[in-house]
Amino acid sequence: MSSPHLQLVLWVIQPLILGTIAVILFRRKLHKEFPAFFSYVAAQIPIFCIQLPVYFYAGSTTYFYTYWAAAGLNVVFAFAIIHEIFLDIFKPYHALQDLGTALFKWAAIITILVSVVLVAVSPSWEDPVETTILVVQRCVHVVQCGLVVFLLAFCGTLGVKWRRLSFGVAIGFGLCSASELLTTALYSGRRMHTPTVQTIVLIAYDLAMAVWTFYSLVNRRADMVPVLVPQRWDEALMDIQPPQTEADSLIPMFEHMVDQALSKSHGPHA
């Protein structure tokens, strides 16, 4: 089977698998626990239904803009899914959840700003919108790979069971991201041609969907039990957090921490 035919088969089976995943998530009511991931899975089906006829009948220019519009939407989904996985991992630890959410928002803003600046100072890039999406997309790929490494390294410490759906979602996206980063690097070094890159990326995404299907079926919905070490981290954050900010933004908490540090450093000397 020639490479174009193989790519077409790998592409056409994607909405079928994604539809199966969406049905499983909905029937098992997992869409309520992972709304961002469910929305991403469901959104890929109409995206495919638009892209396929555009690819064959509307010409390369129209498909170009359709592809990058979908890529931009998927970047937004990626940020939401990463945050959703993080919240599920730290579900028993409310202070760690709040701290991570604050850091995550600032990291997302900084990533986008850095991407825009890189595009603005590099006149060699012709399409600023496409390049901005591409740079942010690569940053997201790095974060997704890092998330998988983090889970594999600290799943025992955090008490994360391998059968949790969040674990499988992270592995699936990590697989896609690793293939994207690796093939992009090899393509940039002229060690891999475009058809090979596209085939590998499609295979990696299909494998990721297989992982998501498996985890959707075996997901354990049991509540996570707090583990000693992260529980100590959580309690330490709760101790330094002022009572009135438990349900609010963490900015007052950071101000309180700074005030405590300054008061100790400028305290009376013996």
CATH number for the domain spanning 21: value is 1.20.1070
Q: Does residue 144 contact residue 82 with C-beta atoms inside 8 Å?
A: yes
Give residues with Cβ within 8 angstroms of 133, minimum separation 6.
68, 71, 72, 75
159 and 198 fall within a common domain = yes
Q: For residue 161, which of 98, 236, 221, 217 has the smallest C-alpha distance?
A: 221
Residue 97 clears pLDDT 80, i.e. is over it: no
Q: How far apart are CA 36 and CA 19, in angstroms?
A: 16
Please say whether the beta carbons of 132 and 115 come within 8 A.
yes
Distance (Å) of CA 31 to CA 114, 171, 219: 33, 19, 13
> Do residues 220 and 234 both lie within one domain?
no
pLDDT confidence of residue 60: 81
Q: Are residues 86 and 105 in the same domain?
A: yes
Least confident range of 60-74, 196-210, 216-230: 216-230
Q: How confident is the model at residue 172 (pLDDT cuts 50, 70, 90)?
A: very high
Residue 243: what residue type?
P
Q: What is the CA radius of gyration of the chain?
A: 22
Residue-range definition of the domain harbouring residue 250: 227-270
Return the residue matching tokens 């555009």.
54
Question: Domain check: are 111 and 243 in the same one?
Answer: no
116 and 216 belong to one structural domain: yes
For residues 115 and 34, state if they share a domain.
Answer: yes
Give the model's pLDDT for residue 164: 83
From residue 26, give the alpha-carbon distance in Å to each of 38, 170, 178, 227, 241: 8, 19, 29, 30, 38
The Cα 55–Cα 50 span in angstroms is 9
Given this model, what pLDDT does residue 90 score? 74
Q: Are residues 164 and 246 in the same domain?
A: no
Same domain, 184 and 240: no
In which band, very low, low, confident or very high, does the pLDDT at 18 lie, cut at 50, 70 and 90?
Answer: very high
- Mean pLDDT, residues 77-87 taken together: 87
| pLDDT given for residue 265 in this prediction | 47
Average pLDDT over residues 1-7: 73
Q: Which segment of 13-22, 78-87, 212-221, 250-259 scores lowest on mean pLDDT?
A: 250-259
Residues 246 and 151 placed together within one structural domain of the fold: no
pTM: 0.75
Closest CA to 28 of 224, 223, 218, 225: 218
174 and 265 both lie in a single domain:
no
Q: Looking at the structure, tell me whether residues 106 and 135 fall in a common domain.
A: yes
Mean pLDDT estimate for the chain: 77
262 has a pLDDT exceeding 60: no
In this structure, which amino acid lies at residue 77?
F
pLDDT reported for residue 248: 47
Residues 137, 71: contact at Cβ < 8 Å?
yes
Residue type, 68: W
Q: Which residue has the tokens 């990696």?
A: 204
Query: Backbone phi, then psi, for 42, in 5-degree steps?
Result: -65, -35
Report whether pLDDT(7) > 80: yes
Instruction: Pick the range with the lowest mean pLDDT from 1-15, 123-137, 189-203.
Output: 123-137
- Whether pLDDT at 237 is above 50: no
> How many domains does one find in the chain?
2
Same domain, yes or no: 32 and 139: yes
CA triplet 124, 128, 130: central angle to 5 degrees?
110
Q: What is the pLDDT of residues 103-116, one digit of tens each?
A: 667 666 776 677 66
* pLDDT score for 24: 95
